[in-house]
Structure 1
């Protein structure tokens, strides 16, 4: 079967790899000159099944209102003349219930844990390297109030059997020795020893040639104009370089998936949530993090990637604009200077922004559509890197007519109704 994959980010490339490994002829189409050039380019570097939690949760609306009035708050909303933005916000608010949270959390944990297993198997099979580390993540709490609130997270971790360690200040320093030099005070942390880190862009760049070795063909610098349909089936992909045809089509276009699906009558409730990152060269290895530290105050992740430190975070709703804002960089700088002041060289930082494809229930859309030869693998939000291998294996199984190893019916777009 010939499968045409739209999108060459980490989700698109992993999907192409698993499809090719399953024996399909695969072609990938992307407007960029290479793989992982957009959202997959500069993310925080975490492979964190333990933090696979819905943004929509009980109490979040009240917290969000407070964040909006803090200069360095983790959430910014810039009103747009875009009805899809407000429809998405409304749907997200409707998911901020205990019942919805429990359902969404269960879906996310199952896919994230499975994805980590798939990544490990892929690593063993291919010997791929991407500045990976298997040294866990540490969520750092600066105040006793923050630490007390960790009880809610711990209850969820226990429910889903996720290993964790609740640490005092000394325990945090034992896990991350450079925190002994921190300028900011902190009282403790929650460590998830099974979480991993790695450079998502590097992973994708190194997996792409392995996919090509399996026969995958990439069409770069190719703008997708529309998906053609006739007689209840997809018949081709119209691009600026002509029409590309196949037997089955997979949309893995992250935040841009809805724009191509709407003309087909498919409402994919995915909206871009802008994130930012700084990447610094390490100048003092003893002053840099060992793995990932999550600064709970600013909701920022600080990750060691080889000889670099990546500081990533923020959630900004401002449509599809990718303007780099000085005040967002200042927040990232505050966090790294508070916790790892000697680790990196700030004068050589690389400042980046990307659009995370968020669904209102935080669960990605992975599965078939009402067109029998059209599938979607998009909407992973902040967990695209974490869930990439698992969702790729699931979609490859579904397209191949095999039953996935995890429950996948409720991952499809059909869960939203018509």
Structure 2
């Protein structure tokens, strides 16, 4: 089968690799000159199945007010006269109940854990390198009240069989020795030992080269203008290089996916939530993190990637703007210098932002649409890197007529036909 994939981020490239491995003739198109130059470029670096939770949860509306008032708050809303923004926010608020949170998390954990297993298998099979580490994630609490409030999170981890460790101050320092320099700022932590880290951009570019060995063609610098369709099927993709056709089409354009299917009458509730990062050269290896430390007070992830530290955070709802705001960098700088004051050379840091494709309920959207040959692989939010390999694998199984190894029924766009989508 000839398959045309729209988008060469980590989701598009993993889809291409697994489809080619299954024997399909695959072409990938992207407006960028290389793979993984947008949202996959400089994310926080976490492969974190244990943190695969919906942003929409009980108590979030109250917390959001607090976050908006904080100097270094993790949430920023820049209101726009955009009905899609407000419609998406309303749908997210409707998911902020205990019942909906439980349902949505139950849909996210299986694909996240399956994806980690696929990533590990891929490392074993092809020896791919991407500054990977498998040393867990430490959710760091500065205050005892934060540590005391982990009961609900722990109950969920127990429910899904996710290994965890509750650590006191000394336990946190044992896991991350550099924290000994700031032990007065550490009350305790929750560690997920099976989580991993790695450079998503490096991985995606390496996997694209492996995909090319399997026959995948990458057409870069190609603008995607729209989808041509008849009543039941996609007949082609209008691009800056002309109309391109295939037997099947995979939409993996992240936050831009809804814009492409809206003219076809498909309502895809994916909206961009901007995230920021800085990448800092390590100047003192002993003062740098060993893996990922999640500074719970500011919702900032501090991750070691080879000879660099990646600091990522902030949820900014501001449409498709990619403007870099200095105040957001100040939050990342603040978290790094407070937790790892000797680790990185901030004077040489690079500042970046990307648009995370978020669904209002949390899980991604994977699978077929009402157009028989149009398939979706988008809406992964902050978990695109975590869920990429599993998402690519199950999509390849679907297009190959195989039953995926995990239940993907509730990842389909049809779930939004229900009342609370």
Corresponding position of 2:90: 90
Counterparts of 1:68 and 1:175, CA distance in 2: 32
Corresponding position of 1:331: 331
Corresponding position of 1:294: 294
Answer whether contact 1:183 1:341 (CA < 8 A) is retained: no
Shift of 1:29: 0.7
Corresponding position of 1:345: 345
Counterparts of 1:31 and 1:78, CA distance in 2: 27
Q: Show the 5 A alignment for 1:193-272.
A: 193-272=193-272
Q: Deviations over 1:307-359 (max 9, x none)?
A: 00000010000000001100000000110000000001010000000000000
Counterparts of 1:210 and 1:81, CA distance in 2: 44
Answer whether contact 1:7 1:252 (CA < 8 A) is retained: yes
Counterparts of 1:67 and 1:345, CA distance in 2: 28
After TM superposition, the score normalised by the length of structure 2 is 0.98
Unaligned runs of 5+ in 2: none
Corresponding position of 1:378: 378
Q: Deviations over 1:347-393 (max 9, x none)?
A: 00000000000000110000100011000000000000000000101
Corresponding position of 1:117: 117
Shift of 1:14: 0.3
Shift of 1:97: 1.0
Corresponding position of 1:279: 279
Compute the RMSD of aligned alpha carbons: 0.8
Q: Deviations over 1:210-242 (max 9, x none)?
A: 001101001100000001101311001100110
Counterparts of 2:391 and 2:317, CA distance in 1: 25
Answer whether contact 2:169 2:183 (CA < 8 A) is retained: no
Counterparts of 2:231 and 2:238, CA distance in 1: 17
Provide the aligned length of Structure 1 versus Structure 2: 418
Counterparts of 2:384 and 2:293, CA distance in 1: 19
After TM superposition, the score normalised by the length of structure 1 is 0.99
Answer whether contact 1:183 1:338 (CA < 8 A) is retained: no
Counterparts of 1:415 and 1:141, CA distance in 2: 36
Corresponding position of 1:356: 356
Is 1:80 matched with 2:80?
A: yes
Q: Show the 5 A alignment for 1:46-65.
A: 46-65=46-65
Counterparts of 1:59 and 1:371, CA distance in 2: 38
Q: Deviations over 1:36-78 (max 9, x none)?
A: 0000000000000000000000110110011111121100000
Corresponding position of 2:2: 2
Counterparts of 1:152 and 1:335, CA distance in 2: 25
Unaligned runs of 5+ in 1: none
**More displaced 10-residue stretch of structure 1: 375-384 or 63-72:** 63-72
Q: Give secondary structure in 2 for the equivalent of 1:398.
A: helix
Is 1:45 matched with 2:45?
A: yes
Counterparts of 1:285 and 1:68, CA distance in 2: 35
Is 1:164 matched with 2:164?
A: yes
Shift of 1:183: 7.2
Q: Show the 5 A alignment for 1:129-208.
A: 129-182=129-182, 185-208=185-208
Counterparts of 2:23 and 2:414, CA distance in 1: 27
**More displaced 10-residue stretch of structure 1: 371-380 or 93-102:** 93-102
Answer whether contact 1:184 1:338 (CA < 8 A) is retained: no
Q: Give secondary structure in 1 for the equivalent of 2:226.
A: strand
Counterparts of 2:75 and 2:242, CA distance in 1: 41
Corresponding position of 1:369: 369
Q: Give secondary structure in 1 for the equivalent of 2:56.
A: coil
Counterparts of 1:183 and 1:262, CA distance in 2: 52
Shift of 1:184: 5.7
Answer whether contact 2:67 2:73 (CA < 8 A) is retained: yes
